[in-house]
Chain A
């Protein structure tokens, strides 16, 4: 039988009616409707589902949603302040820490937890700490650079990023030499 509960995600409390066996990941994606967190392995191996629970990391695929009631849940959607990216998000863009993007929500959450616990991590500490997050593109160098840069950059200095136009935009546009 489904039960009524309330989940507080990124500062907003959402009423949900869920099966007691439902995972936190599925509750947030399917009931709350925030789909930033990803289901990779659904087995606590890959970290794509990582969220913060009262500020501490959790593999949400393997955590009962009802256990999270009354706790502060943070997902990737909660890292930016409106259009203002967190320093970590901005650094991921600048350092090429995003390829296909599937691991990125979990990587950002994991790295946010790392920097909160260890504000000035070495590259080795970053690599070990993020070893519970798998990047299927194997783009780890860019990710490690991004975490290092975010950790060593004054707060706010990376917060504004002008996103370049997508590189493939020209494919859909009329080629200049045919324009006239």
Chain B
């Protein structure tokens, strides 16, 4: 079969093409690169979804932020609500690829690509994000822990298009942070990453979410790390215990970007930085976005 290409104007157009076997492409930043690296050949039938107006825009509700699947990383890192209330997602969006990747790459494509090293995954998981999948005549919602089933694999059926992500907005007194270990400032893939989202009431940490990146087959939360920090004063001992628990959940692989031993050793450091950053933001302290650059920048390098 020779390759075919169509451009959908509506969700229904896209679903019709997908029903006939076409694979969707949005920003395209993963599709060609993945094919060239041998992950998967380019699909014979491609339907471009990047001009579907219904899939664009960030809608800011009282309790939930709804992001159309075509929202770009560049959109996210500049959105006032994301910056102030979902700051870990801004941290992550601001360091995806280069400014070319961020201008074209979409949150929908990023999530559906299901890389265990994706930067936005751990923040989205900490925030309790729900994916909205549309198929011909049906729509369903599922958590990202149900969506991601393995490296590059999701539980979505071939005819399902992810149309939006729904992110509950955290209460006042919350803060979040995403940090990754990187060798290069742009076009980098996380060697190790971690996100934390916390809520502080008075001197007590009342709610904690911690997720780890590039350390397990899918990005996952670590309940033991969350338990170690919950109901604590967010003191150094509790932070270290939580970071150690996060690192203990790691089952990393060795690859060109780092050995399993190195990843395991760095997991605790990165988790500690993410938790420390989240606590600082929850307490109203300023930690610049992206936190990775702020924490690794000139004069502040090395383990903290």
Contact = CB atoms under 8 A, between A and B. Distances in A.
Interface string B1-43: 0111101000000000000000001001101110011000010
B33 A44 contact: yes
A61 B103 CA distance: 15
B117 to A, nearest CB: 15
Contacts of B29: 44, 59, 62-63
A3 B100 CA distance: 27
B173 interface: no
A76 to B, nearest CB: 15
B141 to A, nearest CB: 29
A131 B98 contact: yes
B140 interface: no
Contact of B33 (A43, A69, A110, A114): A43
B100 A20 contact: no
Interface stretch (A28-36, A50-58, A135-143, A163-171): A50-58
Contact of B101 (A53, A113, A128, A132): A132
Interface magnitude class on chain B: 20 to 34
Contacts of A127: 185
B46 A20 contact: yes
A177 interface: no
Contacts of B57: none
Contacts of B187: 44-45, 47, 131-132
Contact of A62 (B33, B46, B50, B185): B33
Nearest to A46: B187
Interface string A118-141: 000000100111011100000000
A23 B3 CA distance: 13
A1 interface: yes
A20 B32 CA distance: 12
A57 B5 contact: no
A57 B3 contact: no
Interface centre among A20, A58, A133 (most CB of B within 10 A): A20
A131 to B, nearest CB: 4
Contact of B186 (A1, A69, A128): A128
A42 interface: yes
Interface in B124-177: none
A67 B50 contact: yes
Given A63-B32, A132-B186, A56 B3 contact: no
A147 interface: no
A58 B98 CA distance: 9
B184 interface: yes
B99 interface: yes
B5 A59 contact: no
Given A21-B42, A58-B103, A43 B48 contact: no
Contact of B28 (A19, A63, A110): A63
B98 A64 contact: no
Contacts of A151: none
B104 A110 contact: no
A64 B100 contact: no
Interface string B103-130: 1100000000000000000000000000
B224 interface: no
B267 to A, nearest CB: 25
A64 B48 contact: yes
B293 interface: yes
Interface of A: 1, 3, 19-21, 23, 42-45, 47, 50, 53, 56-59, 61-64, 66-67, 69, 110, 113-114, 117, 124, 127-129, 131-133
18 contacts: A20-B46, A42-B36, A43-B36, A44-B187, A47-B100, A47-B187, A57-B100, A59-B100, A62-B31, A62-B36, A66-B48, A110-B99, A113-B103, A117-B99, A124-B298, A128-B185, A128-B186, A131-B187
The 10 closest A-B CB pairs, nearest first, are A132-B98, A131-B186, A20-B5, A56-B103, A57-B100, A131-B185, A132-B186, A20-B3, A62-B32, A1-B2
Given A1-B3, A64-B46, 17 more contacts: A1-B2, A20-B3, A23-B32, A47-B187, A53-B104, A56-B103, A57-B99, A59-B100, A62-B33, A63-B32, A64-B5, A64-B31, A113-B103, A114-B99, A128-B185, A131-B184, A132-B99
